[in-house]
Chain A
């Protein structure tokens, strides 16, 4: 396995031209912490973005930060924290889940579009991403978007690249919108609710005017279990809204209140899917649906195969662990489809990922567009071929 580590965008272009000329496919990696996501690719060479590092722009008053793609996420977050700001979409850390080490990079956060619990209130990584520079499969350096929040000039390729998992282009620089860290964060924890009642409570909270920034349900009665509702803001406002929510949700019992380090740990657990990390041989699925369909969807799977799960995004994101085999895979896919959702197999051994669809299969017309989009960025198919879909 050859690893190329270009130190500049020009070097990325040269390497891409060279690989395209030799028709050699490239894996694209930042810290390679999400390497095991997707169909196993047949790549002999890896292009690492780690040599492209450093914050290139930070204007706290403009709520914007830009960095080269290989900049460690931790460095970006530390830079922001110094000025009391953060990436509001709460990028997840999947290292424990995927059993990887290494340093997550800001470019990979964009390429994987990983968003945590706050996605319900502030949007996903793709919503915060406002500008990119990238090298396409023709070896051309391209920019799209920019450093301002409002920008509708031309086609939005920024969104297109968010969540493209390195299959369309190599991001070389990314610019994100950021938000202030609020003065106070507090979480109401309800206990003993079954999934359906829990999600009904979360829907009620999210349908209130009280600006809930986290709404999760972790079934069971172990540590971290419960129905969680998070409020953030200035002290007086948080106090007020906690009170209002408690009365609104009185029928669900008397909640506990968790704050500070305990609260952070609680939400980090949801964000990083901590309850499903072990046992490591289980497959882990990320299933999206409308919140109120979440419990029935999970129950339908649980009725057919041994599974454990938790809910984020008010019930609309079901993280589910099941057996890493084709039979369980079929059950997950069918139940998901029956409940009008879609599922991604985030963790599984390579042989299973090679045998089944990892990303939700697409209808024929969307597949045609998907292949066309791939070819428009990467005509020779050298970036992570087959990682998302066969032939893409």
Chain B
């Protein structure tokens, strides 16, 4: 297991190097616009690794994770665009302002708005997503297999219809003009504010922010799944719930915990991507998005956080670049179908079967 730790450290080093190299390369060749899609893809990758922990490791499926992403994105967008200026005189707003939970900013038209600060809004959004996951998870995680899949599908559909129907969420238009997520206010380190935003002068910075969040998220999950008592319990209940219970694992609680965790990952991605994109629309809440996340976990190899990350980011990037054209959703459906039929162990596993791998038979043993 020490060996396992080293392999994962080596992989992490390689990935960090690749992330830095890509940035250098795009800067040198003047193709920095790629970084925008790589930033977005990294946030989608965060959803995918969270779902991988739930599906691949704990064995619980969810076809509703776009719902959690949307809860995160929409609530943060709503709270940071809802102008409180008319209520500025009210004691509640005054109190919130004094507590530093609000902030004043100027939108594109030069209007001054008083809204929730992104930190407040983001935390509130993630808390709501976690609570929804908790309340949904208690009854739903008693179900297995198809039934769990259908119940989470139902949840995803409800969220989708809600964001489409509620005027507060902008109906078919979604919410736009969402402010950047200020990390450091203006004048502290640089003349302008340092924030998560789509502005091109902060493109490289945002690329690194997204990848830092993603890699930290990965590290936490790797710790949990490969070196901790709770993660072991999750993988055990995937193998046999009855035997895990007999070993003292409270399986209902463990499933609920990982469900909430994966919802928090999705919601965090929703919050950050919404501020990066300066808006969110109902397409982020569709069932097809949920199916896409499932497909990405599957193609990454189900029980591989690394596979989920690589495939999640890679295919999301291609999709964002428009490589799949108008067949975008169909491609992910096809991927899901093909993985189930030909490579249930995921695409990366497939490479083990390719003959050239036999030239280095030792590599497979060393991983164990």
Partners in one complex: no
Q: Which residues in B have some Cβ–Cβ distance to A below 8 Å?
A: none
